[in-house]
Structure 1
Amino acid sequence: MQARADVVVAGGGLIGLACALRLRQAGAEVLLVDPEASPPPASFGNAGHLATEQVEPLASPRTLASAPRRLFGFGGPLDFRLTDIGDWGPWALSHVRASDAATFERGRRALGALMAGALPAWRRLAEALGDPGLVREDGHVVVWERWKSMAAGLAAWHGADIGEAKFAALKPDALAAVQERLAQLLAGGARFTGTGQIDDPARLLSRLGGAFAAAGGQRIQARAQGLSVSDGRAVLSLSDGQRLEPGLILVAAGVGSRALMRQAGHSAPLIAERGYHIEAAAPGWGEPPPVVFEDRSVIATRFGQRLRLAGFVEFGRAEAPPDARKWARLERHARELGLPFEGPISRWMGARPTLPDYLPAIGRSARATNLAYAFGHQHLGLTLAATTGEIVAAMAQDAAPPVDLAPFDIDRFARAGYSNSQRKETST
């Protein structure tokens, strides 16, 4: 049956769902095109951390300089799959270009504006879902195992722009409360406030999907596989044979947005930045907020009676097979730290959609009057999902968005001379 809607959202991850719900609540007839995903989208497997302290884009001179010592081969979290050099090679060159001081400073201001609205937008969305407990605003903890790294880490955080978040060194009793859950001796830590956690990402996805359906939103299982532009109008082709030309097409397909936007004539140099987690029952972990083990570049987050340990920044193809060494290293970290895992350990891997300057792409196409986009949120998809939904809903109604969208214009890459040539790829 031919689907009909005012707005078609291509992508059923967290960004797509949040946008679809807010568009429907604003009165639009919305069709969500969601491919069957196995494993679940990256939205499911994240650490649950609302990282409002991460105002500074990872495209920076400092991050670039530190990359060699953070490589996986030297025990760090950063890895480049050699077999996928055709994907990450061009992206890495673009990333180096985007990591100069001037571009970083512009990105810091732009990302700071988005971050300022992140937690308030999450409060509003949780209330709209009738589940305010989804959002926990009890901050997070960063700990170090070595005195030298603690001194360097605290100095780095003192010099960083963390937006409206704040932090202070852990007092002895607070450090002891973390230490008593661990086998590894800690040198010290810091407690951040003004950050938060989603109580359960899986529950969040379920609540968003349920609220969208209850509000009258349509959802079909299909793959958005073609996006063409003719006479200033975009047409979306689906894997079930449908060709849709609604009043608005929103591309929110994560890494798959690259292929769709390329077909529409836009340069969208996305890379799959893959992360891994392990998870198990851990009734002995108690009620602490997320804990970042900065020496190991991993984060532990409790969801109910289960504990998730997440980490790694692996560049490659989204569809490439997982690297079991990443899970093995996470399990080693869990043993060395003394995390109270009980029973079988589950494993997961997912791909973050990342642009070279580590800013998302949010806006309307200059090539088609009915084409908009919201993708490329890298590590901050969970953090920025709620505010992105509000921005897209305002944009669809031709209302002024709460932030200046110029820094997030996808054509910034074409203007800077980024290549739009990629190997043949599939959409989502």
Structure 2
Amino acid sequence: MVETAETDIVVVGAGIVGVACALQLARQGRRVTLVDRQAPGQGASYGNAGHLATEQVFPIADLSILKRLPRMLLDPMGPLRLDWKYLPKAMPWFTRLLLNLRPGPFQRSVAGIRTLNEGSLGAWQRLLGSIGRSELFQEDGSLLVFERPESRQALEALRTRMLQQAVPVDFWSADTVREAAPQLSPSLLGGLFFPRTGHFIDPYRVVCELFEAAKASGVRFVQAQVDGGRLHGGGVSLASDQGSLDARQVLISCGAHSARLTAALTGKQVPLDTERGYHLMLPGEHQRLPFAVTSLERKFIMTPMAEGLRLAGTVEFAGLDAPPSMQRAWQLHRLSKGLFQRDLSVEGATPWMGLRPSLPDSLPVIDRVCDGRVLLAFGHQHLGLTQAAVTAEWVGRLAEMAGGPEMAAYRLDRF
């Protein structure tokens, strides 16, 4: 039996979103218990790309991908892979995704992503400043490079779309790219620079530092697997492998694993799936890049970190339980060949796979339901790290019943 008599709210999920929310709620005077089956930060938050992707205001797919889809799926090492054995289970999710590519739903998704992203940089500056760890984030921009002449038109079209969404973006010539990042290949033709972005030098450490601050604010951590739960007049009871967890409220923020508990407590089936992402950490590459660089054609990102250079990307649909295909992580090194004057070293390199929680409209669920007994914060797809701090501020408002109209796009009942 887990002792939770002094708990106001149980936060299920100790990734970046859950830990940031737990800290926010504790600072508002709530008695918070944080629970996860793993130690804090061990899921998708451990190995993300580390990029504050405020420029990524468009959904994970658009109509242009439909023409490229067959070729992409036939390439086992391409940027998108679908495990065909998983297709029957994934079909309802993909059907919803296609419906959300219609102009109306697509524009609603863009507006929703943009609203969160526009608040993300300031929220992160406030959060890291409040714990005295501002150095963990570098506001140094990010660069999207291209290397084929025929890509210039697509890049210019993307810049126009970004400017229409008020995303700060500059076109950089090949000379400007070489001046800013001299170790990149001289064959690169230019790129788009996003000045209001940046990168985290160690995403896992960010979670750990926030967790330490949460503990100092009174948050209690329980390592347990939550298997279900029920609502009652006094609040909520969660069933776990360590016993019952009881509180007045629960916040479900366990990423790709959130759907089952949400259904158990609310009766609502959420179309949540996972885009499995990979990274390859190169510990011997500390001085290659001054900021995060993405390749337009090769569709992956390279982020400088305290422990080396992290190559990240690819999307794989294979569900929660399939074993990782680590050759996809090593493929990231092969993709990097030709982008630098000298190939990257893989000495001591480590591969990794994580589960991105994605909903078919590319928007998270951030909501207060069941008479306030259940709070929800999950489904941030590729933007969990980017949107974690602003999500925590919004959850703090929802806990005080202070949600505004700007939160309507993220409600559970949109499904």
**Which bin holds the TM-score, normalised by the shorter protein?**
over 0.9
Whether the aligned pair in 2 keeps the contact of 1:48 and 1:199 (CA below 8 Å) is: yes
Q: Does 1:370 align with 2:358?
A: no
Partner of 2:261: 260
Report the Cα offset of residue 70 of structure 1. 3.7
Is 1:408 the counterpart of 2:407 in the alignment?
no
* Worse-superposed segment, 74-83 or 285-294: 74-83
Aligned-residue RMSD, C-alpha:
2.3
Offset, 1:32: 0.2
SS at match of 1:106: helix
2: CA distance, partners of 1:38 / 1:369: 26
Contact 1:232 1:368 in 2 (8 A): no
Given candidates 150, 153, 159, the residue that maps to 2:152 is 150
The one-letter code matched in structure 1 to 2:313 is G
Q: TM-score, normalised by structure 2?
A: 0.92
Report deviation, 1:377.
0.2
- What is the rounded CA distance, in whole Å, between the counterparts of 1:380 and 1:392 in structure 2? 17
Map of 1:127 onto structure 2 = 129
Deviation string 1:88-118 (CA, Å, 9 cap, x unpaired) is: 2221112112221110111222222212211
The percent of aligned pairs where both chains have the same amino acid is 36
Cα separation, 2, equivalents of 1:168 and 1:90: 39
Deviation (angstroms), 1:162: 6.9
Distance across 2 between alignment mates of 1:255 and 1:19: 17
Please tell me whether the aligned partners of residues 181 and 289 of structure 2 are also in contact (alpha carbons under 8 angstroms).
Answer: no
Equivalent-residue separation in structure 2 for 1:276 and 1:162 (angstroms) = 31
For residues 217 and 45 of structure 2, the distance between their equivalents in structure 1, rounded to whole angstroms, comes to: 22
Once the two structures are overlaid, the 10-residue window that deviates more, 301-310 or 174-183, is 174-183
The TM-score with structure 1 as length reference comes to: 0.90
How far apart in 1 are the matches of 2:181 and 2:235? Answer: 59
Aligned residue for 1:320, secondary structure, equals coil
1:271 aligns with 2:273: yes
Q: Which residue of 1 aligns with 2:398?
A: 395
What CA distance in whole angstroms lies between the structure 2 residues aligned with 1:39 and 1:370? 25
> Does structure 2 conserve the Cα–Cα contact (< 8 Å) formed by 1:164 and 1:194?
no
Secondary structure at the counterpart of residue 347 of structure 1? strand
User: Which residue, 81, 84, 98 being the options, matches 2:86?
Assistant: 84
Provide Cα deviations, 1:345-376, integer angstroms capped at 9, x if missing partner: 100000100011110000011x3531110000
* Residue 51 (structure 2) aligns with: 49
- Provide the aligned length of Structure 1 versus Structure 2: 410
Q: Aligned AA for 2:27?
A: Q
Equivalent position of 2:201 in the other structure: 199
Tell me if the contact between 2:145 and 2:188 (Cα under 8 Å) persists in the aligned partners.
yes
| 1:295 equivalenced with 2:285 (yes/no) | no
Letter in 2 for 1:42: A
Corresponding position of 2:351: 347
CA contact (8 A) 1:33 1:221 kept: yes
Q: Which residue number corresponds to residue 306 of structure 1?
A: 308
2: CA distance, partners of 1:322 / 1:283? 25
Secondary structure of 1:381 counterpart: helix
| Segment drifting more, 37-46 vs 202-211 | 37-46
Give the SS at the match of 1:61.
Answer: coil
Structure 2 partner of 1:423: none
Q: SS in structure 2 opposite 1:344? A: coil
Report the CA distance shift for 1:260/1:363 in structure 2 as closer, same or farther (over 3 A): same
Give 5+ residue unaligned stretches, structure 1. 414-428
For structure 2, the residue ranges without an aligned partner over 5 or more in a row are none
Q: Structure 1: which amino acid aligns with 2:390?
A: T
Indicate conservation of the 8 Å contact 2:303/2:310, yes or no: yes
Is this contact kept in 2: 1:59–1:357, CA < 8 A? no
Q: Distance in 1 between matches of 2:133 and 2:355?
A: 28
